[in-house]
Amino acid sequence: SSKTPASKAPASKAPASKAPPKPKESKDSDISVKLKPQTRQSQNVEMFSMASYNIFNDSDAWTATRHVSGLSIAFITPWNTLGKEHAITLAQKGKLDLIVPVMYESQPIPENPALQVGHITGGDTFNDDDIGSWKENGLQVMPRVYFLPNKWKIEQFRVLMVDSNAKNSFINELVDACHTRKFDGIVFEVLVALLSCDGVYQDLMDFIRFSSELVEAFHSAGLKIFLVVPPFGDALRNDVRQMLYQLQTYDLFILMAYDAPNPPYRG
């Protein structure tokens, strides 16, 4: 007799549950700076991360959590009236390590260097109470010293970098300001102004030697000094690249893209 094959009911498959997608890492909020290791006198070049908060909302899930393991830095501008308080709030929550008050501007060397009254202005932009409040909340404070592009000429830079009296006076004024105001060091923003000058490329070695003396003076005084680096992109000449390798005695390079007005160093 012929056997009728048993009909099989189709097996029902439970829909497979999908694991929730992993959140993508944000690249916009975490900027990393790393240089090829070179021979250093005392410190190694390390990678640091800097978080930025375009809109401050401490109740938001993003700003309520620290997202970087390295050094967290905030620039405090005098026109942001709430920036001082926000810095303290972030410091109390363990999300901010160091602030950079935007305050000092370096004044060009006059034609007669002996007439120079002072090398930096802007010390009254933030008062001692502001600085004391930041430090009481565990923040390191390192003001920016800014060289305004188009205000300095290469001849004035040459006096600053080569003339021993002008150079020592400038360095001593910066160190004294740090000790008087109890700063932890400075953020030195000079490269855009320097590299915008005509004929600058023959003076790169002078800037390396000047930087060496500047950094040594700060380290001898127990202070730190960071160097702001503009966004070179394809405009980075090989001689400037080699100069940057020679400048790694600075404690940190900060890539600054928002304030580079002159071609080819636009942000």
Q: Of how many residues is the chain composed? A: 267
- DSSP assignment letter at 14: P
Q: What pLDDT is recorded for position 156?
A: 92
- DSSP assignment letter at 95: -
Q: What pLDDT is recorded for position 44?
A: 36
Summary count for the chain: helices (H), strands (E): 7, 10
Q: Which amino acid is at 134?
A: W
Give SS3 for 239: helix
Q: What pLDDT is recorded for position 256?
A: 82
Q: Do the bridges between strand 98-106 and strand 73-76 make them parallel or antiparallel, or are there none, so unpaired?
A: parallel
Q: What pLDDT is recorded for position 54?
A: 46
**pLDDT tens-digit profile, the chain (267 residues):** 444 444 444 444 444 444 444 444 433 333 333 333 344 333 333 333 334 444 556 555 556 677 778 899 999 999 887 888 889 988 988 889 999 999 999 998 887 766 666 789 999 999 999 999 999 999 999 999 999 888 899 999 999 999 999 999 999 999 999 999 999 999 999 998 998 888 888 899 999 999 999 999 999 999 999 999 988 777 678 888 899 999 999 999 998 876 555 555 543
Closest CA to 151 of 33, 1, 262: 262
Measured CA distances, 115 to 112, 141, 146, 166, 265 (Å): 6, 31, 21, 11, 32
* pTM of this structure: 0.75
Task: Give the angle 160-164-167 at the CA atoms, nearest 5°.
Answer: 40
